[in-house]
Chain A
């Protein structure tokens, strides 16, 4: 298959060898599971259980809270211990409502929805309903409810389902392992998704540094002519949705549009596996594979983790820390977020937990920009980080926006490369936040202005009406008086 070049990009140390040869192992059931209601983009789920309720494995314990939302299911059987606010796996560490489940050790399945007998004759709606009810969200990290994306075929003309197995972030090997060990399940899930989307073609893109995954997937796909497995160049951020679509199709997604607008829908490989489970067995998304790695961890590993297990449980399973980590991260080192602590739970979009040493991070104090231009050369989005940063430093968000800061995908390539160690992507994220806040403020002021104007108009109209009524009354009275006078006038 002919591939197309993508712009820029970097080649960081991949360090995948720490965990890439570790087969997926199941985490022993922890003493408690912590299931937050907000594990996805959109509205939080709504609780369906009460404290003290017994639950079975796979039972829905919180339902979808809106059009963009996803339900939560019990990852094992047990008892609802509490429904309370605890720290979320988010850099802020802010608390959010969480269902605490105490496993009973029996791991008994509850009643599951019937498998969809022949998914390839089922209609889009049936499959999407199952995917939605199974609480499946994008497992690559963005955690967007998958059923919504599977519905795109009814709105747009689609050609390709692109399965993202690039896994371009350093350290992460969970997708690699899932592809090696569950290739058939992924291919089946992908074919079901393609059917729901109504696309004739499935392309599975995997970075060439995962030859075994490419082999396994190619073998699994060999009996299906519509499925193609492609090895893509090792070039961060190849896994960025828009860039992967460009590499595969040569098409550039226009700004402010979705890849679906140019006929391509992208899903993560692990999401396809979850769809397979939901459709073929009625099993909801209650676990996921997480890579625990970094030089501060004693034994890096790929672990099948019930949703709600705490990060501390995973670290303990990996033999604890070899040294005190400098940073504890949710996700990959280039786009991941710091974890507020060890007590936060694993959620559906969490692909990696990295405990890194200072030497691995190699962040040094920032020095002055020397305009080396490397950030311009490597920006995969064709932006000019050096100039954007200069304006943001002066709080000039207007020019930063004109220079395209809102198009930045926060891949972190510029920061990784900068010889002055300037935290460029941090500047851009900050600017994006400020620009969004300013937009909101502007809209609010505009709204207030419109309401105030309407109010003034109303008051004026009321006054005018009143005056008119008064005048009319006066006129009437005058007319009446005149008439009376006329009457009284002696003829």
Chain B
């Protein structure tokens, strides 16, 4: 495009908002759930979190230098911090350091910058990284630990944590199954859901987050609080979170009603795994979700249904990352078919006929 400077063109007023402010608010909203989970999973989790976020910022800086883009201004928008943060939240809490570093490379250098950097990527960087890690390193990515709250008996100290994160010395007998994984394994052994669910943590513990799971996703209630905060701040609208949850819940509820022995309940699907994190913080990523409200409803519903389908029928116990990536791929086409109707025109773009001005 070839025109003069924009300093002298309307509008001569602008609301007080910026990409940086938006990203910062999202980070704020993530703090309660993250802080609680870092407490729950202790020093190894804190180390992994720091490594992952730090690596994302470093990789982002490297990519910006290679791309010849302004480094400081772009780093200051906090988007790399947010990607790292969300990636860390989706990792097993005691995963080794190189998982975080490789994840950062996958997210920033593979999913974000080849498309042109911020705003240009088709797929959610954090989810690309999670899926790539899960497929490449299935063992390291599925070692779950029971909560070992900081300073509690049996919790690793700082130096134990260094050994775990950087030395790969996992103590024996800490691993546990996530609720979704447990139910899935039991099903393959022929044990019906009604029986395996007895051993699953109760609903309240699951809501609070006192269970095995990824570093930041276990506390549905704190994630919900963060999500509601983002809605109150008008950073996100209700459309995507509600439709994601509706998709998961309805599919779960319908099939559970049909065959309770094979299918877990809608409520269980809602509070387990990364449903809340996905609904409020992953699927709502501006860059990789549709721009219109109608498109967002379709997108969210698609995510919800896919989450349930993958959890129920695919080889993985959890489906949020896969579901979001699949729906990301459909965003351009959703956008195309959910454009608003232009003023004074019909859906096809033709001027409204005179005499029918009330469409």
Instruction: Spot the interface stretch: A40-48, A217-225, A331-339, A459-467.
Output: A331-339
Give chain A residues whose Cβ lies under 8 Å from the Cβ of B358. 250-252
Indicate if B65 sits at the interface (CB-CB under 8 A).
Answer: no
Asked if residues B10 and A361 are in contact (CB atoms below 8 Å), the reply is: no
Asked if residues B17 and A419 are in contact (CB atoms below 8 Å), the reply is: yes
What 0/1 pattern do residues 1 to 17 of B give for CB contact below 8 A with A? 10100111111111111
Indicate if B18 sits at the interface (CB-CB under 8 A).
Answer: yes
Give complex CA distance A415, B13 in Å: 9
Give chain A residues whose Cβ lies under 8 Å from the Cβ of B349. 402, 404
Asked if residues B13 and A361 are in contact (CB atoms below 8 Å), the reply is: yes
Indicate if A416 sits at the interface (CB-CB under 8 A).
Answer: yes
Range class of the B interface residue count:
35 or more
Nearest B residue (CB) for A367: B19
Give complex CA distance A389, B180 in Å: 44
Indicate if A342 sits at the interface (CB-CB under 8 A).
Answer: no
Asked if residues A255 and B1 are in contact (CB atoms below 8 Å), the reply is: no
Give chain B residues whose Cβ lies under 8 Å from the Cβ of A366. 6
Give chain A residues whose Cβ lies under 8 Å from the Cβ of B286. 370-373
Indicate if B359 sits at the interface (CB-CB under 8 A).
Answer: yes
Within 8 A of B (CB), among A245-294: 250-257, 261-262
Asked if residues B18 and A382 are in contact (CB atoms below 8 Å), the reply is: no
Give chain B residues whose Cβ lies under 8 Å from the Cβ of A361. 12-14
B interface secondary structure, majority: loop
Q: Which of B9, B17, B118 contacts A368 (CB 8 A)?
A: B118
Within 8 A of B (CB), among A422-477: 423, 425-427, 429-430
Give complex CA distance A4, B127 in Å: 44
Asked if residues A337 and B10 are in contact (CB atoms below 8 Å), the reply is: yes
Q: Which of B14, B18, B340, B354 contacts A261 (CB 8 A)?
A: B354
Give chain A residues whose Cβ lies under 8 Å from the Cβ of B342. 255, 381-383, 404, 407
Give chain B residues whose Cβ lies under 8 Å from the Cβ of A379. 340
Q: How many A-B residue pairs have CB under 8 A?
A: 186
Number of interface residues of A (CB under 8 A): 73
Give complex CA distance A242, B358 in Å: 13
What 0/1 pattern do residues 276 to 294 of B give for CB contact below 8 A with A? 0000000000110111110
Min CB distance, A104 to chain B, in Å?
38
Asked if residues A257 and B351 are in contact (CB atoms below 8 Å), the reply is: yes
Asked if residues B10 and A425 are in contact (CB atoms below 8 Å), the reply is: yes
Asked if residues A254 and B353 are in contact (CB atoms below 8 Å), the reply is: yes
Asked if residues A423 and B344 are in contact (CB atoms below 8 Å), the reply is: no
Nearest A residue (CB) for B235: A372
Give chain B residues whose Cβ lies under 8 Å from the Cβ of A426. 3, 6, 9-10
Q: Which of A327, A376, A383 contacts B8 (CB 8 A)?
A: A327
A interface secondary structure, majority: loop
Asked if residues A253 and B357 are in contact (CB atoms below 8 Å), the reply is: yes
Asked if residues B343 and A381 are in contact (CB atoms below 8 Å), the reply is: yes
Min CB distance, A474 to chain B, in Å?
61
Give complex CA distance A381, B340 in Å: 9
Give chain A residues whose Cβ lies under 8 Å from the Cβ of B160. none
Asked if residues B354 and A254 are in contact (CB atoms below 8 Å), the reply is: yes
What 0/1 pattern do residues 68 to 91 of B give for CB contact below 8 A with A? 000001100101000000000000
Indicate if A186 sits at the interface (CB-CB under 8 A).
Answer: no
Nearest A residue (CB) for B339: A384
Indicate if B233 sits at the interface (CB-CB under 8 A).
Answer: no
A-B residue pairs, 8 tightest by C-beta: A373-B291, A412-B11, A255-B344, A254-B352, A251-B357, A255-B351, A333-B12, A333-B13
Other A-B pairs, 9, CB within 8 Å; known A373-B289, A410-B10, A419-B17: A10-B15, A252-B359, A254-B344, A254-B345, A333-B12, A361-B12, A363-B12, A368-B118, A417-B17
15 intermolecular pairs with C-beta atoms under 8 Å apart: A13-B13, A254-B344, A255-B343, A327-B8, A333-B13, A354-B12, A368-B19, A372-B286, A377-B292, A392-B1, A404-B349, A419-B22, A426-B9, A426-B10, A429-B9
